[in-house]
Structure 1
Amino acid sequence: MAKVFKKGVLGSMAIVLMLSGFLVACSKNEGGSAATTSPSGSNSPSPSKEPEKPAKIRVSLWDRANAPEGQNLGNNPIIKYVIDETKKIGLDVEFVSLPRAQESEKLNVWMASGEAPDVILTYSMDTIFKYAEQGGLWELDSYLAKYPDLIKNNKKALDQVGMYKGKRYAIPALKANTYAGPNMKIRKDWLDALGMKIPTTNEELYQVLKAFKEKDPGNVGKDKVIPWAIPAINQSMKAFFFGPMFGFGVNMDGPSNQFYAPDGNYKNGVFTSAVATPEGKAYYQWMNKLYKEGLISKEFVTDVSSQQFTQQVNSGVAGFVDSNDVPYTMTTNTRKSVPTANWVPVEPFKRADGSQVMTVVGDYAMFVAVPKSSKNPDVVMKYLNWMVEPKNLATVQSGIEGVNWKNDGGVRVQIDPEANKKTTWVSAQGDLAIVQQGVPAYNKEQLIKSVAISLPDDKQREEYANSYLAFYDVFKKFGKPNTVIDSPRPVAQKTVAAIEKHLYEGISKVIISTDFEKTYSEMVAGWERAGGKDYDKEIGDAYKTMKK
């Protein structure tokens, strides 16, 4: 079995598509005349052929419930660009809303009813495996082979994932900049006010969070301080459990999942999910203590859309987060309320043995797949191939050149960032650009150039560049890829949805519990009933096979 590596954390996930579409041929004689000879021998023009009807293609587009006022999936200039430009190659594109917070449920309904769009999206490799095993997806090898530009652009991603039992069922988006992923951030201005250093261990983080709560270094009011901001634990949560959980000794030894936390440890030929490890229990007990002491958001369980989390960060009352946000972006957003705010990255916490662990995103992002209910997979491939054309890719990623951005030596410079937020939000999220997320990481000169318009002076541009370089450096120094299990996992296909649903609910209950031991035991028992032990055994067996 091939061993491939996935530089990422959030679990794996999947993408597939279809294509076809024919250009109407037109006749042309040597003299350039449009006339042809009729069967009677006259030079009267033959009846003109009706233009071929564009091939219909329905494309999933995640709805994150974050559209700016006046914007929606049917009223957006970038979406209009896609629809208008693809008509020129014989495609009729219709976007279909897929609520991000209910992705799994919606996909299951679509697939079961045969009403799925031609393009479905997921970040879960197990989801792709499940539908492929059930015969619900098109095999894409022969269709992809017709489009060398798509193959060339996405080669790194294609070489790593998207295959099942030796056949391709998903087209993975290329992740152009791998210096990204889950990472901890902290308010450096709060630390400076307290004379404290950036924490290097979980215990140091605890002491810092207590100081944030008790001393209110941001002067926001002790009753308003949120030392550690987290939202509800669900499929679309904006903050994670990676950093501190890694610090407790939980690893990312299994396949990534949609729970946004280290998934478990592989030792002596046995894999154990985080929830059932001693290290995992210690972490959850620690979180329970933090909750009881008011060091994490008291109402996080109800924050299912992460709106409260976002408001806490932006209003300046939060001091620590673990998410995949970029520190400089957080700083910019918080400075609208607190001009002195300064979010900085936190290096992985040191474990008892002195090691520091964190993951990095892989060379692939979402998976694109084509359901069997779709009539023409070639049309999907044609759509994806259209998107990798440089002009089209730049547009779906960044907006209209000359309107939203200008090209400065290969660097896309935003013309009016505030105006862009109202028109390019689907592009900025990467939800339209399903063949590639982002551009290769910029160096310092390119970073400074990229904000030449949006930041008015040299000092601000320097701060911007240094913030990004510090952020990248954490991933360069500590980020490690984890192994991808690319073999069939029938147990996971049957159990992973139930397991994840149970953990979303069970871990929330454990964190807020007044009786930790009782609630934790109930959570583990529920995990076992959902198939947790069989799930773990399958992973362990797969690793043994891969090591042979």
Structure 2
Amino acid sequence: MQRKKIIFPVLAAIVGLGAAVSGCGGKNEADPAAATAASGSPKAEANKFANRLKITMFNQGTFNASAPVPPLEEDIQRQMLGKAVNIDLDMIIPQSGQATTKLNTLIAGGDIPDLIFLKTRTDLAQYYDQGILADLTPYLEQFPELKKRFGSGSWDAAKYKGKTIAVPGYDNVNGMINSIYIRNDWLKKLNLKVPTTPDELFEVMKAFTEKDPDGNGKNDTYGFIGGMNKEGTLTSYGFDTLMWMFGVNPPGAIDVKDNKAVMLFTDPKMKEALSYINKMMEAKLVDPDWVTMNTSDLLDQKLFKGKVGVMVRDARRMEPDAQQKMKEVGGEIPDWVIIPPMKGPYGDQLLERKTYQSNTWAISVKANKEKITRILAMLEYVFTDKEAYPHFAYGVKGIHWDLVDGKAKNKIPELSKEVKDKYAWVDHYKFPRRGDDAEYFSFKNPKTIEAFENNQKYVAPTLPGASLTADANDTKAVERVRFINESLIKFMSGKEPLSNWDSFIKTLETKFDLQKYKDNVDQQLKELGYIK
């Protein structure tokens, strides 16, 4: 595939940086807690890192771009990094919305940061093509713990033209948003068991609709409700979770099977998924308000009112603040519980696929071998050192967390706004937090923790299609996606009979250049190594 090469313009002058840049120098003595955490790391051995190096870090991976970088004597995390790998870290925090301009300004001025956080794979590829980023392939074998820290999907996202040119950034969070809620009190009243298959789920939703589960003598309950975003896409609004029972999902979901690309939105299994949802619609098991559910807040209102028996919502709706809203809106706190996903007819049992690892840490080509090695050692320390982990993921020991029965306990919920604001800078260092770390999220309800941890079993690896980049020459892309979305909605709602499925595929081929799109997908997947 011919990739479009974008050349960033050389700026005539260096504009104001508009960011907090911290300077490092002199002796750096960490506090006792930091020294204890760092001293346990083999990376701190003096004979390994005899020369102290200055590392500039362009950190748009911060979780709080508005927080200033504190002086070194207050910055426990920076002290720990200095002690662990013998560096002086100079951190640049770009203001929100100005990261690209700021980075390009630094590059144009010849002041390329040593370590650069990039938010998209497109940026990663473009900067590499311009000779700005180093190839890390020859160095990574020296850091086995860092390599083990991330899965193959995350490392694949850091590869380009057969080389590994970055280290994965922060973990994306999965297993939280797409949680399957069910009214446990309704199950008990109707003497029903928790469903485990699509057929069982259908029967439960049917009972929830027809058998007056709330006992008010009115026909005012429904088995299910979902929705779609304002762009008309079904993703993350409930219906896509039903589709995963059949192993398929809307546009963008592309798998590789038997060394061939499989478009899940045109796979015959999608027709089965749509037939299942259409059956629900025909039986009037779906709240008819689904057509207006185009924001998360609207779906939350349905959850709070408790007139629907099954929904797909965020696990955090089990938290006390959301429970209070249920009481305010519906007059009671429904007995919602989160259950595992159904096991579909082809053995699929998943809530979602892991979110694509779009963000990465890249290293400047200007860095010599010693500096590249030192930066990778720092990243290995930050991402894999167990003693250091709470210092980076949670914050300052004694303020944000403390040891309770030998385990780090996050204290964030207990802190006042003043304390949180005072130590807001710790968010610059939270990028190594694990996406499945329940402690990091400071859940208050044990049920939320349980649901979040249980959900992790049903998060499948990222699909190969997530790695694809848009083809600039595909003039039908936008129209094609819109047509697919509209067609899927028509099929599942009954506005278009499923007997027209073959006609739908034919239209994609003749009017929307489906074969040209497939050819481009195949070429990219071959380049990425998914197709041999």
With the shorter chain as reference, the TM-score category is 0.5 to 0.7
1:50-72 residue CA offsets vs partner (Å, 9 max, x unmatched)? xx99957351557xxxxxxxxx7
CA displacement at 1:172 relative to structure 2: 1.4
1:350 lines up with 2:352 in the alignment: no
| Rounded Cα–Cα distance in structure 1 between residues aligned with 2:277 and 2:61 | 37
Check 1:296–1:165 CA distance in 2 against 1; reply closer, same or farther (3 A cut): farther
| Map of 2:136 onto structure 1 | 141
Aligned residue for 2:359, secondary structure, equals strand
| Rounded Cα–Cα distance in structure 2 between residues aligned with 1:386 and 1:274 | 40
| Rounded Cα–Cα distance in structure 2 between residues aligned with 1:503 and 1:53 | 48
8 Å contact kept, 2:401–2:410 = yes
Matches within 5 A, 1:95-174: 95-97=94-96, 118-122=116-120, 127=122, 131=126, 135=130, 138-141=133-136, 152-153=145-146, 155-157=148-150, 160-161=155-156, 162-173=158-169
| Rounded Cα–Cα distance in structure 1 between residues aligned with 2:321 and 2:414 | 12
| Rounded Cα–Cα distance in structure 1 between residues aligned with 2:357 and 2:280 | 33
Matches within 5 A, 1:288-307: 290=280, 293=284, 295=286, 298=289, 303-304=294-295, 306-307=296-297
Aligned residue for 1:413, secondary structure, equals strand
1:250 lines up with 2:248 in the alignment: yes
| Rounded Cα–Cα distance in structure 1 between residues aligned with 2:462 and 2:405 | 35
Aligned residue for 1:533, secondary structure, equals helix
Q: Over aligned residue pairs, what C-alpha RMSD do you find? A: 6.0
**What amino acid sits opposite 1:57 in the alignment?**
F
| Rounded Cα–Cα distance in structure 2 between residues aligned with 1:402 and 1:533 | 55
1:228 lines up with 2:225 in the alignment: yes
| Rounded Cα–Cα distance in structure 2 between residues aligned with 1:464 and 1:367 | 27
Aligned residue for 2:310, secondary structure, equals strand
| Rounded Cα–Cα distance in structure 2 between residues aligned with 1:329 and 1:183 | 10
1:314-341 residue CA offsets vs partner (Å, 9 max, x unmatched)? 5545543446x44x76365653324352
CA displacement at 1:273 relative to structure 2: 0.5
Matches within 5 A, 1:177-326: 184-215=180-211, 217-218=213-214, 227-232=224-229, 238-239=236-237, 243-250=241-248, 263-264=254-255, 266=257, 270-287=260-277, 290=280, 293=284, 295=286, 298=289, 303-304=294-295, 306-314=296-304, 316-322=306-312, 325-326=314-315
Check 1:441–1:413 CA distance in 2 against 1; reply closer, same or farther (3 A cut): closer
8 Å contact kept, 1:191–1:198 = yes
Check 1:416–1:394 CA distance in 2 against 1; reply closer, same or farther (3 A cut): closer
**What amino acid sits opposite 1:349 in the alignment?**
K
| Rounded Cα–Cα distance in structure 1 between residues aligned with 2:378 and 2:438 | 26
CA displacement at 1:74 relative to structure 2: 2.3
8 Å contact kept, 1:344–1:467 = yes
CA displacement at 1:141 relative to structure 2: 1.0
| Map of 1:534 onto structure 2 | 519
**What amino acid sits opposite 1:93 in the alignment?**
I
| Rounded Cα–Cα distance in structure 2 between residues aligned with 1:233 and 1:110 | 33
8 Å contact kept, 1:393–1:433 = no
Check 1:532–1:21 CA distance in 2 against 1; reply closer, same or farther (3 A cut): same
1:35-60 residue CA offsets vs partner (Å, 9 max, x unmatched)? xxxxxxxxxxxxxxxxx999573515
1:335 lines up with 2:323 in the alignment: yes
CA displacement at 1:138 relative to structure 2: 1.9
| Rounded Cα–Cα distance in structure 2 between residues aligned with 1:495 and 1:61 | 35
Aligned residue for 1:229, secondary structure, equals coil
8 Å contact kept, 2:255–2:465 = no
Q: Which runs of 5+ in 2 are unaligned?
A: 1-20, 28-52, 80-87, 327-331
| Map of 1:515 onto structure 2 | 495
Check 1:349–1:309 CA distance in 2 against 1; reply closer, same or farther (3 A cut): same
| Rounded Cα–Cα distance in structure 2 between residues aligned with 1:504 and 1:393 | 44
CA displacement at 1:177 relative to structure 2: 10
1:90-143 residue CA offsets vs partner (Å, 9 max, x unmatched)? 4243244369xxxxxx989999x9999942224xx6x47854785486235189
| Rounded Cα–Cα distance in structure 1 between residues aligned with 2:251 and 2:102 | 24
Q: Identity, % of aligned pairs?
A: 16
| Rounded Cα–Cα distance in structure 2 between residues aligned with 1:137 and 1:296 | 54
1:435 lines up with 2:449 in the alignment: no
| Rounded Cα–Cα distance in structure 2 between residues aligned with 1:213 and 1:499 | 40
1:483-514 residue CA offsets vs partner (Å, 9 max, x unmatched)? 7589x97x865589985885367425642566
| Map of 2:30 onto structure 1 | none
Check 1:431–1:87 CA distance in 2 against 1; reply closer, same or farther (3 A cut): closer
**What amino acid sits opposite 1:295 in the alignment?**
V
**Size of the alignment, in residue pairs?**
445
8 Å contact kept, 1:213–1:225 = yes
